[in-house]
Amino acid sequence: MPPGVYDEEYFLHACAGHEEWRESGGSAWHGMYPGALHVAGFQPGETLVDIGTGRGELLAVAAEQGAARAIGVEYSDAAVRLALRTIERRRVGDRAQVIKADARAVPLDDGIADLVTMLDVVEHLTADELATALSEARRLLRPGGRLLIHTLPNRTIYDVTYRVQRLVWPPRWRAWPRDPRNEHERLMHVGEQTVGSLRRALKRAGFPAPKVWVGGIVYDGFVPPGRARTTYHRLAARRLTRRLGGADIWAIARAR
């Protein structure tokens, strides 16, 4: 997508975590950011490169947790401005910075990072773009460094669960659209993933044994209230059916 699509309106009213950031003027954030560093096993003294840093919350959290360096990569002018505001508000400019660059060509040295993160980024990339971005992430990592990915939605809840619901619950199905996605998803989500597709993409990019799993978010607002929504919660609560109900996907992979 062209960078202008990701304007200030998007980051302040649609991008995940916007409520906390907007209401605090950039001094507070959603719990997903410290949560992501916990999942990644982030340690003080490590260097983080956050690709698609958005408003920059992860940079500030990492800096406050003792990062040696926290570097954000963004190609949206609006996001760069907001991320700089976050860094300023949290007074972490001595350890955090933002560079304007494309995820497919990051102007940083090989092996600079202990941890590379891509939070809610891969769904915005086509298959070819994702392949290049993952190769860049691998280049940036030192041997043994980690790549952490979070993406939403899990495409399976639309392509499988929703389609089955739409077919088996007549006559309501006629009121259900063929595509349940909202306007932002239809415009921006050119590369939604499943557990399997993300695992394959990571292996092709040179990450030999990625761990990919469905997260704990259940999203049901695209179906009518009642049994239709309850279905996603029931599926997500069981290990064997979690992929059919859980809305988000995590992945962590180590560089050789």
Q: Which two tokens stand for residue 35?
A: 């949560």
pLDDT, tens only, 34-80: 999 999 999 999 999 999 999 999 999 999 999 999 999 999 999 99
What is the H or E stretch that residue 12 is in? helix 8-13
Helix (H, G, I), strand (E, B) or coil at 49: strand
- pLDDT value, residue 167: 86
Cis check for the bond before 171: say yes or no (omega within 30 of 0): yes
* CATH 3.40.50.360 holds for 3-154+188-217+247-254: no
d(CA 204, CA 122): 15
Q: Which two tokens stand for residue 137?
A: 């992430």
d(CA 199, CA 185): 22
DSSP code per residue over 122-156: GGGS-HHHHHHHHHHHHHHEEEEEEEEEEES-BTH
- pLDDT value, residue 169: 74
| Domain extents in the chain | 3-154+188-217+247-254
Q: Which two tokens stand for residue 1?
A: 């997508």
Residue 156 CB partners (closer than 8 Å, separation 6+): 194, 195, 243, 244
**What sign for the dihedral angle of Cα 68, 140, 98, 186?**
negative
List, for the chain, all residue ranges whose pLDDT scores fall below the cut of 50: none
- pLDDT value, residue 122: 98
